[in-house]
Amino acid sequence: MGNLGIEWIVFLSVWAFITMGYDKRQAKRKKRRVSEKNLWLLAIFGGGIGAYFGMQVFRHKTLHTSFRVGFLMIALLDMAIVLYLVGLRMPVLSQLF
C-alpha cells in the first residue's frame, strides 16, 4: 500500500500542477477553462501538493482565499500521508509518528 499511495499522490500532484498551468494559460487567452470543481477534485483526491505549488508558480487563483487556504491544508495533509507511508518502510521515520 505504501508505494501505491505515494505513487498516487505523485501522479495526481503532477497532474494538478499541469492543470493549474493549463487553466492559467486558458484564462490569459480567454478560452475554455478548467472548472473550479475539477481543480478541487484533483486536490482532494491526492493532488494537493501539485495544486498548491501550481497555484504559487503560475500565480493562479491566489486571490481566492478558499483556494489559498484550502489547497495549503490539503497539501499539508498529503505531505503528512507521504511521510507516514515512507515512515512505514523506514524505522527511523516511523518513530516520529
Which structural domain range is residue 31 located in? 2-94
Q: What is the overall mean pLDDT for the chain? A: 91
Q: Kindly report whether the global pTM for this prediction surpasses the value 0.75.
A: yes
pLDDT band at 96 (very low <50, low <70, confident <90, very high): low
Q: How many domains is the chain built from?
A: 1
Instruction: Quick: pLDDT tens for 32-77.
Output: 999 999 999 999 999 999 999 999 999 999 999 999 999 999 999 9
Q: Is the pLDDT confidence value at 91 over 70?
A: no
Q: Is the pLDDT confidence value at 78 over 80?
A: yes
What's the CA gap between 81 and 47, in Å, rounded?
Answer: 12
What DSSP assignment string belongs to 4-68?
Answer: HHHHHHHHHHHHHHHHHHHHHHHHHTT-----HHHHHHHIIIIIHHHHHHHHHHTT-STT-HHHH
Residue 84 is predicted with a pLDDT of 86
